[in-house]
């Protein structure tokens, strides 16, 4: 829990800073760019594009999923790519964005992902799970919005 406390503290500090940021991209355009980045990631994941599923995440990513220890970019990418290469099952996500708050070069997104698992050979459903979370995006030097911190939980 020490690591998750640090990430929660970081998100809280960023939220405070969001309200104090004087200048930055147009919030509406930035929100649309963040939404588009999330939708592109969903499309890439659902199509099994293993070379693309890490593009949404900044190199300095830190995240906490459920009660697991804090992890970074390398662990997340390896896990996503491994899951997509598993030959016996097919994975697909649905995305529901509840809110996007943009201030300056940061955006916070409350969202819900629903993962559908099916047998690759038959398409028969195996399992469905829902993950609720909060993502902190930062606009990168190249202009792309990438996730730098996230918290996600079953349920």
134, 109 Cβ separation under 8 angstroms: yes
Total Cβ atoms within 10 A of residue 45: 22
Indicate the pLDDT class of residue 13, thresholds 50, 70 and 90: low
**pTM for the full predicted model:** 0.84
Q: List, for residues 120-140, the tens digit of each pLDDT value.
A: 999 999 999 999 999 999 999
Residue range 24-37: mean pLDDT, rounded:
93
Q: Pull the structure tokens for residue 119.
A: 């047998």
Q: List, for residues 59-76, the tens digit of each pLDDT value.
A: 999 999 988 999 999 999
Q: Pull the structure tokens for residue 32.
A: 């649309």
Indicate the pLDDT class of residue 148, thresholds 50, 70 and 90: very high
Q: How far is CA 142 from CA 21, 50, 102, 127, 138, in A?
A: 20, 22, 18, 38, 11
pLDDT averaged over the chain?
89
Domains identified in the chain and CATH numbers: 2-154 (3.10.450.50)
Residues with Cβ within 8 Å of 94's Cβ and at least 6 positions away in sequence, in order, are 42, 113, 114, 116
Q: Flag whether pLDDT at 80 surpasses 80.
A: yes
Share of the chain above pLDDT 90, in %: 81
- Per-residue pLDDT, 3: 52
Indicate the pLDDT class of residue 91, thresholds 50, 70 and 90: very high
Share of the chain above pLDDT 70, in %: 85
Q: List, for residues 36-63, the tens digit of each pLDDT value.
A: 999 999 999 999 999 999 999 999 999 9
């Amino acid at each position: 829990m020490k690591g998750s406390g640090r990430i929660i503290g970081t998100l809280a500090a960023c939220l405070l800073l969001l309200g104090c940021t004087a200048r930055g991209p147009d919030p509406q355009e930035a929100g649309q760019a963040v939404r588009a980045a999330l939708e592109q990631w969903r499309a890439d994941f659902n199509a099994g594009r293993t070379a693309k599923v890490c593009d949404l995440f900044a190199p300095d990513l830190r995240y906490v999923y459920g009660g697991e220890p804090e992890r970074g970019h390398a662990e997340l990418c390896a896990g996503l790519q491994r899951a997509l290469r598993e030959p016996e099952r097919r994975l697909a996500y649905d995305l529901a964005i509840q809110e996007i708050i943009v201030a300056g070069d940061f955006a916070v997104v409350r969202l819900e992902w629903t993962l559908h698992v099916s047998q690759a050979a038959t398409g028969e459903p195996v399992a469905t799970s829902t993950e609720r979370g909060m993502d902190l995006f930062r606009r990168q030097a190249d202009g792309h919005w990438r996730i730098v911190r996230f918290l996600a939980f079953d349920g």
